[in-house]
Structure 1
Amino acid sequence: MSDTRNYGPASPRPYQCFMGHWEGLCKSFTPHGDFLESSAVHMDVYWLDDNTWHLHEHFENLYGVGETIFDTPIGVDGKRCFADSDQLSLEGAELTPYNYVFTIDSRVSNNIVYNNHYFLDPDTRRIITHKVRDGATSLFQIQDFTRVQRP
């Protein structure tokens, strides 16, 4: 008996689901889960070349820092990504086509940042963030984004 299954076309290359213009809200919480504040975030993500994408992320008020803009080229090697700039050092990986994890050493907020990106649908993304400073949790954040412009 032949067991052939048609699973349809292959999923897009890693990180393609990030491309576009996104509008979001970042909610900050204490290490005990108490709400602190929320702030708008504007994000533009696009390919620079076949192995590099660019993240432009504008926080109207990054908690504890103030207005902040990250402009970061991010290299890609298969499912892995990486970046190093004056603002941050970053490593990430695609776990599934719509779930990504990142570890960021932020020179802006002086935290180690653990981000989990979940694509709830192609145009809705949630980022759950755990920030650590001096070995202890300093902040939790949830960012909810809607893609307002597709590639």
Structure 2
Amino acid sequence: MKNYGDPSSTIPYQCFMGRWEGLCKTFSPRGEFIEAAAVHMDVYWNEVGKSWHLMEDFENLYEVGKTVFHTDIFVEGKYCWAVSDQLSLEGTELTPFNYVFVIDSKVSNTLVFNNHYFLDPNTRRIITHKLQNGKTYVFQIQDFVRIQQPWRI
């Protein structure tokens, strides 16, 4: 049984918990649209307030293809981090509904800067700037809708 936590909790990263469906749009460094692909995400606590699991399933990760990430992310207050065969990650809560992440992706060989904005409790936008060899590689916008939210036991 997955632990999506208490939806009324204000602890950092609680707002990420649940199942999400999204669309990732990719743009060139000059802003030209390149492609769009579906993304499926399931996020749940391993231990509430201490670590959470992120499953992110890209139907087509730009220039990589079908890719599924499984990452355990550890939390200390507003800060989080992860290290796996696929990536290393650091994140910070700036406000209760705005988070930033820096991800070194071993899958796409890019340095990824993500800014997560929760437009409302069930709608999230991620604005991504990807670098490869120190230069802007692509920009991406991912829009997600929560399809299964935490519920109280």
Give TM class, smaller chain. over 0.9
Question: Which residue does the alignment assign to 1:87?
Answer: 86
Q: What TM-score do you get using the length of structure 2 for normalisation?
A: 0.91
Deviation per CA, 1:39-68: give whole Å up to 9, x if none. 000000000013000000000000010000
Question: Which residue does the alignment assign to 1:68?
Answer: 67
Q: What TM-score do you get using the length of structure 1 for normalisation?
A: 0.93
CA apart distance, 1:17: 0.1
Q: Distance in 2 between matches of 1:130 and 1:67?
A: 20
1:150 pairs with 2:149? yes
| One-letter amino acid of the counterpart of residue 67, structure 2 | T
Question: Which residue does the alignment assign to 1:99?
Answer: 98
Matches within 5 A, 1:27-66: 27-50=25-48, 51-66=50-65
Matches within 5 A, 1:4-23: 12-23=10-21
Number of corresponding residues: 142
Larger C-alpha radius of gyration, 1 or 2?
Answer: 1
Structure 1 runs (4+) greater than 2 angstroms displaced: none
Question: Which residue does the alignment assign to 1:126?
Answer: 125
CA apart distance, 1:11: 6.0
Q: Give ranges in structure 1 of 5+ residues lacking alignment.
A: 1-9
Q: Distance in 1 between matches of 2:93 and 2:9?
A: 12
Q: Distance in 1 between matches of 2:132 and 2:38?
A: 24
Preserved CA contact (<8 Å) 1:11 1:97 = no
Q: Give ranges in structure 2 of 5+ residues lacking alignment.
A: 1-7
Q: Distance in 2 between matches of 1:27 and 1:141?
A: 5
